[in-house]
Amino acid sequence: MHAGYNITGRVIEDFLNVCKGGSGRILMVALSCLFISACSDTGAVQKNKENQKGISRMDDKYKCSDAEWQQDLTPEQYNILREKGTERAFTGEYWDSHDAGIYVCAGCGNEVFRSAEKYDSGSGWPSFWKPIRDNSIDEKDDHSLGVRRTEIVCSNCDGHLGHVFDDGPKPTGLRYCVNSASLDFEAESSEKGDNSGRLETATFGGGCFWCTEAVFETLEGVESVTVGYMGGKTKNPTYDQVCTGNTGHAEVSQIKYNPSKISFSELLDLFWKVHDPTTLNRQGNDTGTQYRSAIFYHSDEQRKIAEQSIKEQQELFTDKIVTEIVTSSEYFEAENYHQDYYRNNKNAPYCRAVIAPKLEKLK
């Protein structure tokens, strides 16, 4: 698929993978974990935070005197945010939290991470593979334990959050290891009922995942869209391997959505419009099993809805719909340069010739 447009990204990614490998990285991570010490979180900062929440970065940094910080923060929060302490693993409030919402700095309310990018690293600390925005945190060199680490701090108040390591999952390969006590959590609104904060997952294969990602990202109620590979036999496949057709994977968009705002049926309505479900292993000039039309269901309810939807859609098509309806299998996120491809490459020839007209047509 479109190899001419992503070769630079692939070379960079391969170079980074080489740089990250080897005993040096393993030693660095081991030493970093060995020296981590203790503290825990019990509360949240109140003073002046209400009018700060939701910011990404302020022109003037949020500043307090040391006496004000000590008055406003709990002892545990002060130790971590202002004295760069570390809580004990598996003791913080959020290390095993799976609620949907936004994590903000406990010192000033600056949004720093989302639940959509949170994952279980096994470390005992809240872990994320990217911040909510690039300018939400700052990075600083840290040599405090005799080894070089990268400290992460709130970009708005310089509060210590934790450290970032290069042993995280795709697509970034990073693990933002954060102290629970440095965070407050803002759950998604529950105004529409008990389930309004609960996210569900939908996974679709509809040809080039650059196209499907760009379309589904426009929908209200969609929390996030990532692209990757599903339905194959190879563990952690690369893009080049998938393109051979030998791994059995399909290019897919995986969608996290709020069912109180948008239903699975509504997602399917757009799925049928964004690709041709009657062409076997092909979408336009893109040919191969990786471009097959597929619905990977995550529940029996999704399966039933998909089967009914195909019956209804078949009446609108002269040719037979060849879309697969199969249970979801292990999902592998694609390389970083594939994520948000249209947003990051709107002037690329493929984006201008294929994706932009499709988005315009769907308005």
What is the Rg, in whole angstroms, of the alpha carbon atoms belonging to the chain?
22
Q: What type of residue is 323?
A: T
Instruction: Please say if 39 is a catalytic residue.
Output: no
- Residue 84 CB: number of other CB atoms within 10 A? 16
Q: Which residue in the list 39, 177, 211, 351 is annotated as catalytic? A: 177
Q: Which residue in the list 208, 211, 243, 351 is annotated as catalytic? A: 208
- State both tokens at 63: 């500043």
148 contacts 195 by C-beta, under 8 angstroms: no
Q: How far apart are the first and last CA of the chain?
A: 26
Q: Cα–Cα distance between 140 and 59 in angstroms, integer?
A: 20
C-alpha dihedral sign at 79, 85, 90, 92: positive
**Largest CA-CA distance found in the chain, in angstroms, rounded:** 74
The answer to whether the bond into 171 is cis (omega within 30° of 0) is: yes
DSSP string, 288-347: SGGG-EEEEESSHHHHHHHHHHHHHHHTT-SSPP--EEEE----EEPPGGGTTHHHH-TT
CA 136 to chain centroid: 15
- Nearest CA to 111 out of 55, 163, 62, 59 is that of 55
80 contacts 72 by C-beta, under 8 angstroms: no
Instruction: Please say if 105 is a catalytic residue.
Output: no
C-alpha dihedral sign at 243, 248, 249, 251: positive
DSSP string, 168-236: --TTTT-EEEE-GGGEEEEEPP-TT-TTTT--EEEEEEES-HHHHHHHHTTSTTEEEEEEEEES-SSSS
Active site residues: 177, 208
